[in-house]
Structure 1
Amino acid sequence: MNFRLDEEIEFLKRNVRDFVQTEVEAVAMQIEEENKIPKRIIDMSKELGLFGLSIPEEYGGLGIGMVGKCALYEEIGATHNGYTTLIGAHTGIGTVGIVEMGNEEQKQKYLPLMASGEKIGAFALTEPSAGSNATNLKTKAIKKGDKYILNGTKHYITNATEADVFTVMAVTDASKGAKGITSFIVEKDFPGFQVGAVEKKMGLRGSHSAEVILEDCEVPFENVLGTEGQGYVNALKILTNGRAGLAARNLGSCQKLLDLSMAYSQERVQFNVPIIEHQAVSHMIAEIAMEIEALRSFTYRVAWMVDEGMNVIKDAAMLKLFGSEVYNRVADKAVQVHGGIGYISDYPIERFFRDARITRIYEGTSEIQKNIIVGQLKKQYS
């Protein structure tokens, strides 16, 4: 396995790090207070090419592999997680489906605009009755002439208020179960499409999740993604491919928490010495550092496997599970290291602690990842 980055990726990584540390970090508190990412930050992200991370060069993207993407995601993860999620949801589940399963006409139509950030992507699978049980979709798609008519409601859809292009899963043949689900490329301006209530969340301020309401929504036949009946398989592929990137974003947040904890523990004095000299504190920091290195190695191994075209279903599920659990443990320890100040919203530790919690839920809960792991082990040992 070779995780060495080429000069171009190293250059991009340095630029993204500088941008995150000087520009995004400067407005992190503003994002938290206003629940909005400043337009200037979005525009600068477009100029850096961050909206095109997952899109091949021939369609205007950066055309880099998963190892390179993880290197950039790690830098992006080291700042406000609302910003991180806006970018990550677009470059991950928001665009990967079209990149991997779209036909040439679909790619030519959508990917250049999504690579530039002119159009934002979102992934609409979850429904009130279909979360972890993703096959229990109630959204229906009925073919009528040269169109499909979609009816149903999605919820908790990340980027819903910002997105222009949605990958939507709907049932085309209820008698076939999972094999009766089809994926569609749906534009926000299609007749019958609307964004509903915006969710009020514990964290990830600046990243908006909302209902998507499809009421006799007209979708052209040519906007079927893949073939009819492949929607559930498509959804699994999209989610699996994004898990290394999600872990890399978690990794970046963990590294930021370590940096903050090291700085604070060497400055804060109790009993006449910096608190890092107290074994209880130093051991927590050692545990944080150990978990980060384990996550870093695991992340880049799975990213390398993706680039090599290997089957990563089990490994990606393990990584998603491990990465989100590590982030939550690291955030908890960072609060403890900081003591009272770690609980105060004027400082970033409290924000990371709240933001970490969703990682064990979205894009597949920790419990679902365990189911996937065991399912793959059964096949391996059968």
Structure 2
Amino acid sequence: MSTEKTKNLLRGGQFLVKETACEDVFTPEDFTEEQKMMKEAVMEFNDREIIPHKPRFEAKDYALTESVLKKAGDLGFLGVAVPEEYGGLGMGFVSTMLTCDYISSGTGSFSTAFGAHTGIGTMPITLYGTEAQKQKYVPKLATGEWFGAYCLTEPGAGSDANSGKTKAVLSEDGTHYKISGQKMWISNAGFCKLFIVFARIEDDKNITGFIVENDPSNGITMGEEEHKLGIRASSTRQVFFSDTKVPVENMLSERGNGFKIAMNALNVGRIKLAAACLDSQRRITTTAVQYANERKQFNTPIAQFGAIKTKIAQMATSAYAGESASYRAAKDIEDRIALRIEAGNSHQEAELKGVEEYAIECSILKVAVSEDVQNCSDEGIQIFGGMGFSEDTPMEAAWRDARIARIYEGTNEINRMLSVGMLVKKAMKGHVDLLGPAKAVADELTGIPSFETPDFSELFAEEKKMIANMKKVFLMVAGAAVQKYGPDLEDHQQLLIAASDILIEIYMAESTLLRTEKNAKRFGEKEQEVQIAMAKLYLYNAVSIVEKNGKESIISFAEGDEQRMLLMGLKRFVKYTNYPDIVDLRNLIAEKVTAENKYCF
């Protein structure tokens, strides 16, 4: 990694208090030739092996899911992130993301199976396993000879993952543990050969991870396949362990380290879940636009109606924003991993710390993109009208499959609170300076505002000012809330969620703007005219969300003069000097997409 790049690489969460140059963000337009080839190969696989068989997936053909996953293994797609010495391709984090992105759009069933196997099924061993464990298990998982599953959730332990009751008792001769307990919602359970199981040893504070081979003769039984709203061909079962013997050498990492393993695995799972929602948005948008161009009412294609243009513009803009933020974060993680390897870290430690560094961004992306794909599919149904509600068209299945994304890998409510909580912890450790910028905002509130007319002649000059002001809103609200509640802030969940929504919009809007600015500089503003419109439209919507959540937060904890001052500051920070013509922006975006008859960015 170059010195220049190292110097400009922000730590996780620092996007809030430091300005990022557009040249320092990675965009999908920056894919290398190798990455483009991987993308094409994955798209071709999806179009050949998954999309033509959607009816079989919807009919709960679990054997099909298993067979297609095996074919993905034969082509190396299951081992993209696995080091070459363990049978994988050893590619970087961006390549891992784009593989997950483009392989996931055919059906949520396969997407879930793929993500569960490559992420939480394989990765814990790759990152936490001993050399012997990696040599024994990872090559089988990387090639698809074996499939993996992840046993964390229990009937009484969901979001509170560390409260699991499953027990691991050491045998008298000290050679193995006996695991007993019940796990539920286990993806890939019906055909996996290996479980990552979390259990508690004695009265340990934290759970411990184990590698458990799936052998029915070893006290392992399963419930029936769950009948789910969506992802119908994703095998999902309860798993019961009854004195299941696990050799002591199959403990994963150290005793009591299971909760840390689980949390770090979920960090990677969250950003990859965002990636897994991206191509679904692209394809849903394309399908909706094609229908809108064909469907005529009052002798006019409905794509020409303003109400439909609004929907198409928003669908395309959300997909574009999700791409922008996801690949920005992915490259930051990849660069941080490379930086640690250069510093002498092992691959295991470098990847663990590289992803952990951007845990805030991972939570942000999980929430934002999972909600965007749900909204996209919902609008897709609406564009199809009555036909959208029918199983004969693809929209209802897309909507059902999208719904799970807001629940697994940590519910969106949990991730919202985590993002703010992790940011505060980073500030306490000195990794992100929140105190200085927050004090500067507080001083600005009591100072005399400038009445000079700003120069907005450069592209995105006003939009950059609005991004900076959105950051001030977060610092103003969070700073005042921390001052009022101190360590008890975590008890005020509604306030945390509102603050998180502000944080989310800052990252998503800034990422979209930076991607577009970078491409406008190298391809020309005329070439990027529609992308510029999308960046402005996303920001306008983001400002509205920031204003709403900022106001709700302020009036919930502040009173009297403090409340009036904070509300005045909010009003100042969310006010445009020159408001964009939102209708024109939507029309420009929608007309481009309808003319191309597809998502075309």
Partner residue of 1:36 out of 62, 65, 75: 62
Partner SS state of residue 109, structure 2: helix
Q: Counterparts of 1:301 and 1:259 in 2: how far apart (Å)? A: 24
Q: CA deviation at 1:378?
A: 2.1
The within-5 A match list for 1:110-125 is 110-125=137-152
Aligned to 1:368, which of 389, 398, 414? 414
The one-letter code of the counterpart of 2:403 is R
> Do structure 1's residue 184 and structure 2's residue 181 form an aligned pair?
no
Return the alpha-carbon distance in structure 1 between the equivalents of residues 141 and 156 of structure 2.
30
Of the candidates 314, 336, 351, which is equivalent to residue 382 of structure 2? 336
- Rounded to whole Å, the distance in 2 between the matches of 1:42 and 1:121 is 11
Deviation (angstroms), 1:198: 1.9
Q: 2:264 aligns with which of 234, 237, 250?
A: 237
| Residue pair 1:265, 1:275 contacting (<8 A) in 2 also | yes
Give the alignment partner of residue 183 of structure 2, picking from 138, 154, 157: 154
What pairs with 1:41-190 in structure 2 (closer than 5 Å)?
41-144=68-171, 145-174=174-203, 176-177=204-205, 180-189=206-215
| Secondary structure, counterpart of 2:179 in structure 1 | strand
| Contiguous gaps of at least 5 residues in structure 1 | none
Deviates more, 1:219-228 or 1:4-13: 4-13
Please state how far the C-alpha of 1:200 moved relative to its aligned partner.
1.0
Q: Which residue of 1 aligns with 2:255?
A: 228
For residues 270 and 315 of structure 1, the distance between their equivalents in structure 2, rounded to whole angstroms, comes to 44
TM-score of the two chains, using structure 2 as the length reference: 0.61
1:241–1:306 Cα contact (<8 Å) kept: no
- Counterpart of 1:22 in structure 2 is 48
Structure 1 segment 317-356 matched on structure 2, within 5 A: 317-356=363-402
In 1, the alpha carbon distance for the partners of 2:62 and 2:188 equals 12
Q: Distance in 2 between matches of 1:247 and 1:297?
A: 11
Paired amino acid for 1:276: A
What is aligned with 1:2? 26
Task: Please name the residue that 1:284 is paired with.
Answer: 311
State the 1:53 CA deviation. 2.6
Matched, 1:255 2:297: no
Counterpart of 1:63 in 2: which secondary structure?
coil
**Shift in CA distance, 258/100, structure 1 to aligned 2, threshold 3 Å:** same
SS of structure 2 residue aligned to 1:93? helix
Deviations 1:264-293 (A, max 9, x none): 111111111111100000110100111111
- Structure 1 residues 202-243: Cα deviation after superposition (integer angstroms, max 9, x where no partner): 110111110111100100000011010100001001110122
Task: Report the AA paired with residue 26 of structure 1.
Answer: P
In the alignment of these two chains, the number of paired residues is 379
Quote the Cα distance in structure 1 between the aligned partners of 2:35 and 2:88.
14
Q: Which secondary structure state, in structure 2, belongs to the residue aligned with residue 92 of structure 1?
A: helix
Partner residue of 2:343?
none
State whether residues 70 and 245 of structure 1, in contact with CA within 8 Å, keep that contact through their aligned partners in structure 2. Answer: yes
Q: Does 1:378 align with 2:404?
A: no
Kept in 1: contact 2:367–2:416 (CA 8 A): yes
For residues 158 and 300 of structure 1, the distance between their equivalents in structure 2, rounded to whole angstroms, comes to 26
Question: In 2, Cα distance between the equivalents of 1:225 and 1:18?
Answer: 37
What is the deviation of 1:82? 0.6
Question: Within 1, Cα distance between the matches of 2:269 and 2:408?
Answer: 12
Instruction: Report what 2:455 is aligned to.
Output: none
Question: What is the match of residue 207 of structure 1?
Answer: 234
* Residue pair 1:150, 1:217 contacting (<8 A) in 2 also: yes
Which structure dedicates a bigger proportion of its chain to strand? 1
5+ long unaligned stretches in structure 2: 1-24, 338-353, 429-601
CA distance in structure 1 between the partners assigned to 2:60 and 2:423 by the alignment:
46
SS in 1 for 2:170: strand
Structure number with the higher helix fraction is 2
CA deviations 1:141-162 (Å, max 9, x no partner) are 1111210111100000000111
Distance 1:217 1:82 in 2: 29
Shift of 1:168: 0.7
Checking the alignment, whether the CA contact within 8 Å between 1:51 and 1:91 is kept in structure 2 is yes
Q: Which amino acid letter does the alignment assign opposite residue 321 of structure 1?
A: V
SS of equivalent residue, structure 2 residue 62: coil
Q: CA RMSD in A?
A: 1.5
CA–CA distance in structure 2, aligned partners of residues 34 and 354 of structure 1: 14
* Structure 1 residue aligned with 2:445: none
- In the alignment, residue 140 of structure 2 is paired with which amino acid? L
- SS of 1:306's equivalent in the other structure is helix
- Work out whether residues 177 and 247 of structure 2, in 8 Å CA contact, stay in contact via their aligned partners in 1: yes
Distance 1:323 1:42 in 2: 24
Contact 2:225 2:235 (8 Å CA) reproduced: yes
Structure 1 Cα separation of the partners of residues 241 and 181 of structure 2:
5
**SS in structure 2 opposite 1:197?**
coil
Structure 1 counterpart of 2:192, one-letter code: A
SS at match of 2:59: helix
- 1:358 maps onto 2:401 in alignment: no
Say whether the 8 Å CA contact 1:335–1:342 is kept in structure 2: yes
Counterpart-to-counterpart distance in 1, 2:60 and 2:177: 39
**CA offset at residue 173 of structure 1?**
3.7
Is the deviation greater in 49-58 or in 132-141? 49-58
Match status 1:264 vs 2:298 = no
1:167 deviates by: 0.7
Note the 1:286-305 alignment, pairs <5 A.
Answer: 286-305=313-332
Matched, 1:12 2:12: no
Larger Rg belongs to = 2
